[in-house]
Amino acid sequence: MNIADNIKKFTSELGPEITLVAISKTKPHNDILEAYQAGQREFGENKVQEMTEKWEALPRDIRWHMVGHVQTNKVKYMAPFVSLVHAGDSLKLLKEIDKEAEKNDRIIDCLLQIKIAEEESKFGLSRVEAEAILNSEKFKSFKHINVRGLMGMATFTEDMQQVKREFHNLKVIYDDLKAEYPHFDILSMGMSGDYRIAIECGSNMVRIGSSIFGDRNN
């Protein structure tokens, strides 16, 4: 794996309209620095503690994305620096992010994670639950959180028609919500195995791990 070459390849393939988030979970600092030196600034992790350790050790102009499920008791550790929380999946979590953002005198950008996979057992909200959150008085009272769009993960399957159906469903939900919330500007969908389909279906932010850094041992 030549990480720098991979970053350059993705950057030119994606162009300026699609944000590349390099998912560096489980990867060492040196791998991240190699991507950084090739110009990459957006990195994603799925564990708060690992992301915080990397934030402390690595260049300060890295923009850190939390792409995994977050427990409310971990929010305080990432609140000083996190750039975008992808997996907003409950009002309780959003409330905690709002509270910790206020303590840090920040407004934290966030996405709502929508459950699109036809398979069970993934985190995320239904469309109805997401709308209920956005329309709630409680949510509207939050001053330190900015929900900018949606995130979703397709089923892990060889059946690309199914993947396409799931991404298309998310794009429809995104477009409908954007009509009501015109400031929405981020649709985070697509990983190493399915990012081309995700882009075809309207993604403007992809989360790529193994195709940049190589396979993970987990």
Ligand X SMILES: *Cc1c(COP(=O)(O)O)cnc(C)c1O
Instruction: Note whether 65 binds ligand X by CB under 6 A.
Output: no
Q: Which of 35, 67, 110, 201 binds ligand X (CB under 6 A)?
A: 67
- CB atoms under 10 Å from CB of 61, counted, come to 7
Residue nearest to ligand X (CB): 209
Contact between 42 and 14 under an 8 Å Cβ cutoff? The reply is no
Residue 50 CB, nearest approach to ligand X (Å): 12
Integer Cα distance of 152 and 13 in angstroms: 22
Q: Is 209 in the site for ligand X (CB under 6 A)?
A: yes
Nearer to ligand X, 125 or 191 (CB): 191
Crossing angle of the two packed helices 3-14 and 29-37, in degrees rounded to 10: 50
Sole window of 27-35, 53-61, 169-177, 190-198 interacting with ligand X (rule: CB under 6 A): 190-198
How many Cβ atoms are within 10 Å of 4's Cβ, its own excluded?
A: 16
Q: How far is the CB of 33 from ligand X (least distance, A)?
A: 19
CB of 25 to ligand X, least distance (A): 6
> What is the SS3 assignment for 197?
helix
Contact indicator for 79, 56 with CB cutoff of 8 Å: no
Q: Is residue 7 within the footprint of ligand X (CB under 6 A)? A: no
Tell whether residue 116 is a contact of ligand X (CB under 6 A): no
> CA-to-CA distance for 166 and 92, rounded, in angstroms?
26
Q: Summarize as ranges the residues that interact with ligand X (CB under 6 A).
A: 23, 25, 46, 67-68, 153, 191-193, 207-211
